[in-house]
Amino acid sequence: MKFVHIADMHFDTPFKVLNSRNKLGEKRRLEQREAFRKIINYIKENNIDYLFISGDLYEHEYIRKTTIEYINNLFKEIPNTKVFISPGNHDPYINNSMYKTFNWNNNVHIFNEKLEIIDESDCDIYGFGFNDFYCRNSIIDEIKLQNNEKVNILITHGTINGGTMENMEYNPINKNKLKEIGFDYVALGHIHKLDYNTEENQRIVYPGSTISLGFDELGKHGMIVGEINKEDIKLEFIPIDNKEFKEIELDISDINSEEELIEKINNLKLEENIFYKIILIGNKNFEINIYNLFKFILNENIIKIKNNTKLKIDLEKISKNNNLKGLFVKEILEELNKKNYNKELLEEALELGLNIIDKK
């Protein structure tokens, strides 16, 4: 049997960071649609038997009916492909969800919070999803395979071996328990990072988010394509997203003015299909105002600028002076040495304070 496995599409997410740059968020939502159509076209061209969607297909808070209609119309184009959806924490199976209120095409099956087993001729498909924005108690421990002779597949949205309290909120799953149960393939969602070839003969898979949603999701994004029988499994990751998010560092130690920095950024050779975060590093020789910089940045693909520079002064030496400037620096340094402090905020206060004192 052949399948495509995707997760975490997050249709109609607002892309607030991108919208700060000439409404790029709206363009990104169009790219979501384009990516999904690519997946459907691949399924049609390659006679794929199953499409597994492991949660967070859309954003419950923002989803529009027209977007659901678009998705469903694409499902109609693959009538011979069976579509299985396991709702996640962003698209839970709640009373007013599109999973309950919309009339989906007859090749679409949507799981709810109760474990369900779909008996197909070539496999048994197990699935369950979220019925709330949190799922603290996984039902993995309750699962026992009903037919070990068939290919057994699990589709769900959750966190494998999540050690933090936050991860325990989202269907915490023990990896060893999954292996003990004996699924031939586990189609997971929730973690936006691709994980499909980190161990030999891997069968517990995160495809990552289908398109990148921001700078915490660097690299390529797409879908998993698989072919499986009881003896063998073949998996391939196929990039779908036309865009990537990248971070680049820019050392400004030799730059002496804001105008020079703006010129330097505008002269960077950047790729057209990349969204960039510019990270400023080194010792700064002037005050940096990120908001002001953006007024003069010509390349719209520069989405964020982060200031990780340091003041080019000897703070310890200044703190020994018996004047206002010395006392101010000494006080800030003492706060920076404490355990409970906001380092970024204190460093910003230090810079602003020194500028005010120097202008007096």
| DSSP category for residue 60 | T
- So where are the chain's domains? 2-239, 244-309, 313-360
* pLDDT at position 240: 96
Q: Please tell me the distance from the alpha carbon of residue 110 to that of residue 106, in angstroms, as a whole number.
A: 11
* pLDDT at position 137: 85
pLDDT at 326 over 90: no
Which amino acid, one-letter code, is at 185? Y
* pLDDT at position 194: 96
pLDDT at 205 over 70: yes
* pLDDT at position 211: 96
Rounded mean pLDDT of 12-21?
83
pLDDT confidence band for 36 (50 / 70 / 90): very high
pLDDT at 281 over 80: yes
Burial track 189-220 (b if 16+ CB lie within 10 A, e otherwise): bbbbebebeeeeeebbbbbbbbbbbbbebeee
pLDDT at 70 over 70: yes
pLDDT at 157 over 80: yes
Q: Please tell me the distance from the alpha carbon of residue 359 to that of residue 354, in angstroms, as a whole number.
A: 9
Could you please report the per-residue DSSP string of 269-316? ---TTEEEEEEEESEESS---HHHHHTT---TTEEEEEE--EESS-HH
How many other C-beta atoms can be found within 10 angstroms of the C-beta atom of residue 105? Answer: 15
pLDDT at 189 over 90: yes
Q: Closest Cα partner for 130 from 117, 114, 116, 119?
A: 114
Q: Please tell me the distance from the alpha carbon of residue 246 to that of residue 275, in angstroms, as a whole number.
A: 6
* pLDDT at position 344: 67
pLDDT at 96 over 70: yes
Token representation of residue 99 = 């999973």
Token representation of residue 197 = 């070839």
pLDDT confidence band for 328 (50 / 70 / 90): confident
pLDDT confidence band for 231 (50 / 70 / 90): confident
Higher pLDDT, 6 or 347: 6
* pLDDT at position 340: 64
Global pTM value? 0.86
Class of domain 2-239: alpha beta
| DSSP category for residue 154 | E
Q: Please tell me the distance from the alpha carbon of residue 350 to that of residue 128, in angstroms, as a whole number.
A: 53
Lowest mean pLDDT among 183-192, 200-209, 274-283, 346-355: 346-355
pLDDT at 68 over 70: yes
Q: Judge residue 338's burial from the number of C-beta atoms within 10 Å of its C-beta, 0-12 exposed, 13-18 middle, 19 or more buried.
A: exposed
pLDDT at 177 over 70: yes
Lowest mean pLDDT among 167-171, 177-181, 229-233, 235-239: 167-171
In sign, the C-alpha dihedral spanning 337, 340, 345, 350 is negative
